Chain A
Amino acid sequence: MSATQQRHVVARSADIPVGGRKVVTVRGREIVIFNVSGGFYGLINRCPHQGAKLSTGEIVSRLVAPEPGDYRLTRPGEMIRCPWHCWEFDIRTGQSLCDPNSVQARAYDVAVQPGKALVEGPFVAEAVEVQVEDDYIVVTL
């Protein structure tokens, strides 16, 4: 974490079921948090192409084909598809399915913190009620 970054509590992990998503705002920027198979990942809520809100897109699988006609469905629920031009991004890394080297939705470092540590640390909560028994979702920004 760099000197200017801060850790922000943005939601309770229970708020976002598996396969779900939630849009939060951190330091004036919209971030969409996804729950992919129990892991939490965050992307800035803006497609790098023309700025569409990724949060209104579709969560999809990674469709591949080693040969024409040999269709394979892989990694269900791990891609987000932009609602406009349908660009697909790996939710975990923000990497684009096309041009993985050149186009990325920016991924934000997302960690899930156990409740007790929060009470002790210098975290900034964004209008979220702190409960020590629950796991919290914290965004570093």
Chain B
Amino acid sequence: MARPVQGLIDTDVHVTVPDTRTLLPYLEPYWREHVQRRGLERENLESSAFPSSAPINLRPDWKPETGLAGARLERLQRDLLDPFGHRYAILNCVHGAQMMFSEDLSLAFCRAINEWVKAAWLDKDERLRASIVVPPHSAELAAEEVERLAGDHRFVQILTLAMGELPLGRRQHWPLYRVAEAYGLPIGIHAGSSFRHPPSAGGWGSLYLEDYVSYAQGSASALNSMISEGVFVKFPALKVVLIESGVTWLPASLWRLDKTWRGVRAEVPWLEEQPTQTIRRNVRMTLQPFDAPPSADQLAKIMAQLGSEEMLLFSSDYPHWHFDGMDAIPDGLSEALVHKICIENPLNTYARLKETTP
């Protein structure tokens, strides 16, 4: 079993806001008073997409004695950065702020989260980088927040959710993509939902397990939308990273999309390139969870079907529980490929990581 390479780049590490009060000092004065008038700082803004104590979201040896996992830097250093030998870790804060209906309130909280990430994490450990948390339901406000932070090169990506109110390719989202492309910041589409809709037209299921499994199809539909709407035609330099999606669903999805394109292209005539080619060029996926097939032979086939050695980016998805010990790399991959996954591919995806000083 291959170990992650020393000096690896981890493209999905979760940090958790300990409680809403923590954000008070980072809110602007207007919003601080507004929030306190309404008692919002007393509310738990955990996202339904990731119940913090569900076993899948909490590896037992990463559980702190008190408080939430992923909330303290010392634990992150002890649990992950030091033993694995990280060169960089990209922090993704998935938070209820991204679920809010009021776009302005959402922005206020996202701003505060980004400021907290800077002060409590980025300023304290130079291995850390972060995604800019943005209000996913307003592209204009999201673009504003990106403009505000783009000068800080420790922010290397923009974080949005796979399942929002409108499919991610739709033109209402384009002001964000314009800004992202201009600054060379990938759009990180994190698995999960703000639950404006059930996971599919099949309706609302009962179990968290059902929801969690649905995140792969949510990532698939986000990708299908971005392709169909011509996001990569309009923004050819835009990069997209599918975070925590599961990986092995992709080949069948590519085949289906290509086949549809051959017959339905007349509806979307800006698609001159076969979707699979576009995806291999513009889209990457983080490694964990890796929904592995049971046999080595099948794994080799799936890897071949992905059709690109550049596509996978190492991720631990800390503190979620997808592997034990340091067993984060699927079996059977060549040393060279493991090296690419751990180092070259992330470096080539996140241009800012190549800078020696942020």
Q: Do chains A and B touch in the complex (CB under 8 A)?
A: yes
**Which residues of A come within 8 Å of B, CB atoms?**
49, 60, 63-72, 85-88, 97-99
How far is it, in angstroms, between the C-alpha of A72 and the C-alpha of B269 when the chains are bound?
A: 9
Given A63-B269, A98-B274: A68 touches B261 (CB 8 Å cut-off): no
How far is it, in angstroms, between the C-alpha of A98 and the C-alpha of B270 when the chains are bound?
A: 12
- B282 → chain A, closest Cβ, in Å? 15
B234 x A86 contact (CB < 8 A): no
A99 x B274 contact (CB < 8 A): yes
Interface string of B78-119 (1 = CB under 8 A from A): 000000000000000000000000000000000000000000
A68 x B263 contact (CB < 8 A): no
- B229 → chain A, closest Cβ, in Å? 6
B270 x A67 contact (CB < 8 A): yes
Q: Which residues of A contact B270 (CB under 8 A)?
A: 64-70
Q: B262 on the interface (CB 8 Å rule)? A: yes
- A54 → chain B, closest Cβ, in Å? 14
Tell me which of A49, A68, A98 contacts B265 (CB under 8 A).
A98
Q: Which residues of A contact B229 (CB under 8 A)?
A: 68
Tell me which of A65, A66, A69, A98 contacts B262 (CB under 8 A).
A98
B269 x A86 contact (CB < 8 A): no
Tell me which of B230, B234, B266, B274 contacts A88 (CB under 8 A).
B266
Interface string of B265-309 (1 = CB under 8 A from A): 110111010100000000000000000000000000000000000
**What is the interface of chain A mostly: helix, strand, loop, or mixed?**
loop
Q: B233 on the interface (CB 8 Å rule)? A: yes
How far is it, in angstroms, between the C-alpha of A106 and the C-alpha of B265 when the chains are bound?
A: 21
Q: Which residues of B contact A85 (CB under 8 A)?
A: 262-263
Interface string of B218-234 (1 = CB under 8 A from A): 00000000000110011
18 new A-B contacts, CB < 8 A, other than A65-B268, A68-B234, A72-B269, are: A60-B266, A63-B269, A64-B270, A64-B272, A65-B269, A65-B270, A68-B230, A68-B268, A68-B270, A69-B270, A85-B262, A85-B263, A86-B266, A88-B265, A97-B265, A98-B262, A98-B274, A99-B274
Contact residues, B237-276 vs A (CB, 8 A): 261-266, 268-270, 272, 274
Q: Which residues of B contact A87 (CB under 8 A)?
A: 262-263
Task: Kindly list the 8 A-B residue pairs having the minimum CB-CB distance in the complex, ordered from nearest.
Answer: A68-B230, A65-B270, A65-B269, A86-B263, A85-B263, A63-B269, A98-B262, A68-B270
Q: Which residues of B contact A60 (CB under 8 A)?
A: 266
Q: Which residues of B contact A66 (CB under 8 A)?
A: 270
Tell me which of B233, B234, B266 contacts A63 (CB under 8 A).
B266
Q: Which residues of A contact B272 (CB under 8 A)?
A: 64
A67 x B234 contact (CB < 8 A): yes
A68 x B233 contact (CB < 8 A): yes
A99 x B262 contact (CB < 8 A): yes
Contact residues, B7-66 vs A (CB, 8 A): none
Tell me which of A64, A72, A86, A99 contacts B264 (CB under 8 A).
A86
Given A98-B274, A99-B274: A64 touches B269 (CB 8 Å cut-off): yes
Tell me which of A67, A71, A72, A88 contacts B233 (CB under 8 A).
A67
How far is it, in angstroms, between the C-alpha of A98 and the C-alpha of B233 when the chains are bound?
A: 16
How far is it, in angstroms, between the C-alpha of A64 and the C-alpha of B265 when the chains are bound?
A: 10
Q: Which residue of B lies closest to A86 (CB)?
A: B263
- A81 → chain B, closest Cβ, in Å? 8
Q: Which residues of B contact A86 (CB under 8 A)?
A: 263-264, 266
Given A98-B274, A99-B274: A67 touches B263 (CB 8 Å cut-off): no
Q: Which residue of B lies closest to A61 (CB)?
A: B266
- A67 → chain B, closest Cβ, in Å? 6
How far is it, in angstroms, between the C-alpha of A83 and the C-alpha of B95 when the chains are bound?
A: 50
- A11 → chain B, closest Cβ, in Å? 30
Q: Which residues of A contact B268 (CB under 8 A)?
A: 65, 68
How far is it, in angstroms, between the C-alpha of A86 and the C-alpha of B260 when the chains are bound?
A: 10
14 A/B residue pairs, CB under 8 Å, sorted by A: A49-B262, A64-B270, A65-B268, A65-B269, A67-B233, A67-B234, A68-B268, A68-B270, A69-B270, A86-B263, A86-B266, A87-B262, A99-B262, A99-B274
